[in-house]
A and B are shown apart, each in its own frame.
Chain A
């Protein structure tokens, strides 16, 4: 019962941080801020996967979390490179 309550609270907190990250993605103001907010969303997604595996007592959701962590790293590095190159381009234009 206590474990169920803690897991539910973890899910709610992760969803709340997803909401805050969404606000930052909409608000901006720079692209780097949006990529950082995506990073928070990724962390929340991994947390939700772990919570799902605790609810169901199955390991399949942990496999999903591994995949998310892998894809999220590549996505973050890729976006950071894009933002970096974009800044370079802007500097060359001015």
Chain B
């Protein structure tokens, strides 16, 4: 019963984090920040779901498969997110200058004018 509750908490945390990642992809203002939201929160969400499944089964047939998924994700997602960020910067000609980064709620037309942010 206790274990069921723990598994449920892990699964729900994974689902909510996945939704937060997707919401970040919709709400954030440019490709770089969207990539940031998707890859970090997405990886964490999948890790939560996988740990939940591992606790659900408590069996090596499940555990090694889940560890394989987790290890593979942790090894490859940094590479994928780096390449995505690189593609985003080069495609949209984003200036890598922290003072120029737009935030949620900023007007894109105003943010492009010099001196609009103080």
Residue numbers of A with Cβ under 8 A of B are 2-3, 5-7, 9-10, 12-14, 16-18, 20-21, 23-24, 30-33, 35-37, 39-40, 43-44, 46-47, 50-51, 53-54, 57, 59, 62-63, 65-66, 69-70, 73, 76-77, 80-81, 83-84, 86-88, 90
Contacts and interface: CB of A to CB of B under 8 A. Distances in A.
Contact of A20 (B14, B23, B39): B23
A77 to B, nearest CB: 6
What 9 A-B pairs come out closest when comparing CB atoms? A17-B22, A13-B15, A6-B8, A32-B88, A80-B83, A20-B22, A83-B87, A10-B15, A43-B42
Contacts of B57: 57
A56 to B, nearest CB: 12
Highest count of chain B CB atoms <10 Å: which of A13, A70, A73: A13
Interface in B59-75: 61-62, 65-66, 68-69, 72-73
A20 B25 contact: yes
